[in-house]
A and B are shown apart, each in its own frame.
Chain A
Amino acid sequence: MLKGKQSWTFANAPAILTTGVTGGEMEGEGPLKDDFDLLYDDNYVNEDTHEKAHRKLLEDAVTIALKKGNLKKEKVQFFLAGDLINQITPTSFAARTNSIPHIGLFGACATSMEGLALAGFLTNYNGAEYVLTGTSSHKGAVEKQFRYPTDYGGQKPPTAQWTVTGAGVALVGKSVGILKPIPKLTSATIGKVVDMGLKDPFNMGGAMAPAAVDTIMTHHKDLDHGPNYYDAVITGDLGQIGNKIAYDMLQEKNFLIDRERLIDCGMLIYNKEQNVFAGGSGAACSATVLYGHILNKMKKGLYKRILFVSTGALLSPLSFQQKETIPCIAHAVAIEFA
């Protein structure tokens, strides 16, 4: 149901039934390694190119999610997924493998919540019984497309972020008849594109923070929540800098959220010692951390309800070279463990 300007509330409480999370080498060395279902110690994932590895990570995540739910893939109506590569080919190829009716999505790194919001919407209104949604990214493949060849020795500034290699997939279905508590989707906010005129492609956090702030504030306003309604407001991949800016901006706009409630996935996924500059990024950053780490924490009772905001920078190498600014977007989904 539409609520406020751009938010939906889900009365029939669609839920995240199972998840599948895969990761690569760096993720296995990070602090969240126990929250991954499958970790590869080689970024090639036994394939011969990074692009094929990219696809394999998503395929594996889908397989794991279905297996955990004891569900045949024929039972799933839709597969909503996307990634960062040109024409989202890794996702399309993965959709070819699992042959579930597929809607390809692109929202850069915000794709994960775009997919989850739509999946919630579809199941809420009986558009589907089961929907698979997820995103994946691969550092080698993404760097090749957006920046330099992986072996090029360019110096990255401290504002740069490290693209996560991995995939996170969630199986969304109705929660009717399930008695034990599971993570349920209660509402979602679709963000609008915000452009603050930043041009540095090595400072994504700084570019995306205003979009996140816009979506967070709109969500709270649409749903009439106070700033500390959620136990945690978790952003996708703002990194250290974006997180700080987002907090400062919220304070400035008199949205007095507690400091420790504003968390960022990009800061959780790696150790400081891993030399990842300002933190993790990429489409898989929000998906792997939410579907792995955060949901596990909710199951342990650490958070009861959260607002998950994934942020995306909608640039391409072409638009950057043509000196365009970086437009950004953020989508939010509220998850309650009940």
Chain B
Amino acid sequence: MSPKQPLTTKQKDYQKLENKDEIKRPLLRNCIKAFLVGGFICLIGQCITVFYIYFFNFTEQTASNPTVSTLVFISMLLTGFGLYKKLGQLGGAGSAVPVTGFGNAVISAAIEHRSEGLVLGVGGNIFKLAGSVIVFGVFSAFVVALIKTIFQLIGG
């Protein structure tokens, strides 16, 4: 069966009916919650950045690295105690888009697959969810950087 198979009229009719009875996602409420939760996480990030600037030898530019690590650490604690999924249900993208969500994806997969052993379970599945982020990040960055370098070589 090809996925592009056109729907029959019966299917179309049903989907119309189904659409009517389906509970819609509360878009506005979800967006507000995502805004608040996401903003809140970034605010914590900003606090941590300032903390690193004040007390360690990090400049504004370099402080984002330890900030990210600290946030991932917080994410580990929340994930381990089963709180991050509650935050995720509350905040939606607000908790998925910040780097804590990336951490959560990695850490939850690691915890989940511990039962299959350290090598095949944890090692093999740790990037089950977050792997695509890395793959697409690296590949798109490669393309972008390559084009930019070539332009600079030609233009500059």
Contact = CB atoms under 8 A, between A and B. Distances in A.
Interface of A: 48-51, 144, 148-159, 195-198, 203, 206, 209-210, 240-241, 244-245, 248-249, 252, 275, 278, 322-324
Nearest to B125: A149
Contacts of B15: 196-198
Given A150-B85, A197-B14, 4 more contacts: A148-B108, A151-B79, A154-B88, A158-B24
Contacts of A148: 108, 129
A262 to B, nearest CB: 13
B36 interface: no
Given A151-B84, A152-B85, A324 B3 contact: yes
A245 B129 contact: no
Contacts of B3: 322-324
10 contacts: A152-B88, A152-B109, A152-B112, A153-B95, A196-B14, A197-B8, A198-B15, A210-B14, A248-B20, A324-B1
A148 B26 CA distance: 22
> Chain A at the B interface: mostly helix, strand, loop or mixed?
loop
B25 A245 contact: no
A140 B18 CA distance: 29
A214 to B, nearest CB: 11
Contact of A245 (B21, B26, B105): B21
Contacts of B7: 197
Nearest to B81: A151
Contacts of A198: 15, 18
Q: Contact size class for B?
A: 35 or more
Interface of B: 1, 3, 7-8, 10-11, 14-15, 17-18, 20-26, 30, 79-80, 82, 84-89, 91-93, 95-96, 101, 104-105, 107-109, 111-113, 115, 128-129
A209 B128 CA distance: 32
Nearest to A153: B88
Contacts of A150: 85, 108, 112
A66 B25 CA distance: 45
A144 to B, nearest CB: 6
Contacts of B109: 149, 152
B18 A155 contact: no
A240 B88 contact: no
Given A157-B25, A249-B17, A324-B3, A149 B11 contact: no
Contacts of B85: 150-154
A241 B11 CA distance: 18
A196 B9 CA distance: 10
A203 B88 CA distance: 19
Contacts of B84: 151-153
A278 B7 CA distance: 26
Contact of B11 (A156, A196, A324): A196
A203 B93 CA distance: 20
